[in-house]
Structure 1
Amino acid sequence: MRDNTQNQMKLSQLRILVAVADQQTFSDAALHLDMSQSAVSHSISALEDHLGVVLFSRGRHGARLTPVGDRIVSHARTILQQAEAIAREAELARGLQGGQVRIASFRSIAIHLLPDAIAQFKQRHPNIAVNLSEHDNYLQVEKALREGRADIGFTLLPAADDLDTWEVLENAYVALFPPEFKSAGPQITWAEVAHHPLIMPPADRIMMRDVYDHVQAHGYQLNVVSEVETDTTIVNLVAQGLGATILPRLAAEPIPERVQVFDLPVPLVRVIGAAVLGNGLHTPAIYAFLDVLKSLGNSLAAPATAAVGAGQS
């Protein structure tokens, strides 16, 4: 017996199903939907697994509907039309002249990226309230979405299957060294990172787990002499020459000019995305805010720094 609470079809899957049926190839459907081909393929495979039937025959000719796929697509079109009708009724009833958008984010996104997005949104829709809540980590953001306390959240990608996500930016980890540090070359080495006294966030913080695993995978252990809770305090301690650190670029901003910024010897990157519940019915205001995020595109990037030194990032 299927667990319907865990395996519900999502409207996003049905939209992808119809797009592949119309475009007749996964690549063309991906272009049409502004998605990656792998995301389209994964969505169709997950839908086929859930339904227990093959929807498309795949081959050199592209993707062709099977007989049962053809019948299911017909139902999918009807469901999508009804969902659009529901959204239109809601929009007619309240339009974009009121309501609110509730956003959940962790601190670095709230500080560096959201002010621009919120300002642009308010210029377009001045009567819609924007409520922003800050959380310690992305797991708390996802919890707020699932509990209905937020409409849009910022999380790390890939995210859980019950969320629909859009990539916003890539946020690389960087090594910050004090002004007097002398690197052996233009690129920092693992030995220099591992042997230098480090001031780090607590090891049990979620964003730090990947750092320790990444360094250990390359055969080194970090020389952590102090753990400090606040990122800004850590950066200021580095500026005072009391140690070095490794932080996500956005978490480290603003970086004082005298602090030296290096890319890690082997890059480590967090991909940050915007997320909504995949099977939710979202108001026009929520879609309007997502449109602002998408329109910002490449401008949603880590701010440039005035760091100095051979390893300037």
Structure 2
Amino acid sequence: MTIQRYEIFNKVVQLQSITKAGIELSLTQSAVSHAIKSLEDELGLHLLLRNRLGIKLTREGEKIYEHTLTIIHAHHNLLQDAYALNGLESGAIRIGTFASVTTHWLPTILKEFKRKHPEIIVEILEDDYESLENAVHLGELDCCFTTAPTKHNIDFLPLHKDKLFCIVSNDNPLHTQTTMSLQQLEKYPIIKPKKGWDSEVITFFNKYKIDPTVKFEISDDQSIIALVQANIGINIRPELVLKNAPEGITALEFEDEAYRIIGLGFTNQTSHATKSFISIVKEIYQTI
């Protein structure tokens, strides 16, 4: 068995296509198919199911995929640390993030990382909290920005308390208030982030035993703000999201302090480059 076969297998699983995996890895379709067949023959297992919708893992393949991800992640870290020990730098790190961090934090972080490590490529994946944490857990990402508490078995480094506000349209009578009571949240239709993006809101509702009337579930921050602006409903948004918010909405503080904790999720198998990335993030943005 070779590392390359594991890499090919992982790429086919992630892209759910032999053709797409071949293009990304600069291999022919027959070379990819041969590598998968060789891996299945050596293991004595059927790993992939092929149908008109694409490719998915068999039950045995799901278990093997967990191991191949771990192997590739360990190999990646080994090379990074070997480069560092030799006084050289190369390779890539894979970072997970979400929209508000991408917009307001990443430009500064990446600029500083590039200054310190000009030869290391940073790959960015933007997704919801749960998907990012799962990708770190599986070794598909080196670390990710997420919010506490994490749902997966990964380490969490808290960085910043991001205050929560209730945002309302300036056409809504609530906009004349200075604060928002918890009781009022149940009297107005709420536009809620979709599952995966909603951890801080769900935590808030559960903490105060609030039963909201959810009008819409939307994943994109700017779409949520636009609907609030049009007085379709109210919403709970963190301060970082509300930076440079458009006119026409008012952000109300809650009577009781409410916030999400932004932090970094990672495993104990972090490479030299990933540790440096985490150190830079801590230096710039850690406030707690």
Report TM bin, short chain. 0.5 to 0.7
| Cα-to-partner distance string for 1:231-274 (whole Å, 9 max, x where unaligned) | 21110121123322122333455421331001223233221211
Aligned-residue offset at 1:161: 8.7
Aligned counterpart, 2:11: none
Aligned-residue offset at 1:109: 2.1
Kept in 2, the 8 Å contact 1:165–1:273? The answer is yes
Aligned counterpart, 2:155: 164
Match of 1:214 among 182, 207, 211: 207
Q: How does 1:257-276 map to 2 (within 5 A)?
A: 257-276=247-266
Aligned counterpart, 1:201: 193
User: SS of the residue aligned with 1:123?
Assistant: helix
Kept in 2, the 8 Å contact 1:214–1:268? The answer is no
The percentage of aligned residue pairs carrying the same residue is 23
| Cα-to-partner distance string for 1:47-80 (whole Å, 9 max, x where unaligned) | xxxxxxxxxxxxxxxxxxxxxxxxxxxxxxxxxx
> Partners of 1:126 and 1:205 in 2: how far apart?
33
Aligned-residue offset at 1:146: 2.2
Aligned counterpart, 2:281: 293
> Partners of 2:262 and 2:246 in 1: how far apart?
24
Is the aligned partner of 1:176 residue 2:190? no
Q: How does 1:1-313 map to 2 (within 5 A)?
A: 90-93=83-86, 95-137=87-129, 139-159=130-150, 162-183=153-174, 185-202=177-194, 206-207=198-199, 208-215=201-208, 217=209, 220-278=210-268, 280=269, 282-297=270-285
> Partners of 1:203 and 1:144 in 2: how far apart?
17
> Partners of 2:250 and 2:274 in 1: how far apart?
40
Decide whether aligned partners of structure 1 residues 115 and 189 sit closer, same or farther in structure 2, where only a CA change above 3 A counts: same
User: SS of the residue aligned with 1:293?
Assistant: helix
User: SS of the residue aligned with 1:234?
Assistant: helix
> Partners of 1:276 and 1:203 in 2: how far apart?
22
> Partners of 2:88 and 2:257 in 1: how far apart?
43
> Partners of 1:275 and 1:158 in 2: how far apart?
10
Q: Paired residues, what number?
A: 208
| Cα-to-partner distance string for 1:186-212 (whole Å, 9 max, x where unaligned) | 222223332223322346854242233
Aligned-residue offset at 1:88: 7.0
> Partners of 1:105 and 1:297 in 2: how far apart?
15
Kept in 2, the 8 Å contact 1:96–1:125? The answer is no
> Partners of 1:165 and 1:211 in 2: how far apart?
20
> Partners of 2:279 and 2:118 in 1: how far apart?
16
Decide whether aligned partners of structure 1 residues 154 and 242 sit closer, same or farther in structure 2, where only a CA change above 3 A counts: same
Gaps of 5+ in 2: 1-78
Kept in 2, the 8 Å contact 1:101–1:151? The answer is yes
Aligned-residue offset at 1:117: 0.5
Kept in 2, the 8 Å contact 1:164–1:275? The answer is yes
What RMSD, in angstroms, separates the aligned Cα atoms of the two structures? 3.0
> Partners of 1:105 and 1:233 in 2: how far apart?
19
Decide whether aligned partners of structure 1 residues 231 and 190 sit closer, same or farther in structure 2, where only a CA change above 3 A counts: same
> Partners of 1:237 and 1:88 in 2: how far apart?
48
* TM-score, with length taken from structure 1: 0.57
Kept in 1, the 8 Å contact 2:191–2:233? The answer is yes
Decide whether aligned partners of structure 1 residues 136 and 158 sit closer, same or farther in structure 2, where only a CA change above 3 A counts: closer
Aligned-residue offset at 1:149: 1.2
Aligned-residue offset at 1:292: 1.0
Aligned counterpart, 1:49: none
Aligned-residue offset at 1:162: 4.9
> Partners of 2:218 and 2:133 in 1: how far apart?
25
> Partners of 2:89 and 2:105 in 1: how far apart?
25
Gaps of 5+ in 1: 1-85, 302-313
> Partners of 1:274 and 1:154 in 2: how far apart?
5
> Partners of 2:156 and 2:203 in 1: how far apart?
21
Decide whether aligned partners of structure 1 residues 172 and 155 sit closer, same or farther in structure 2, where only a CA change above 3 A counts: same
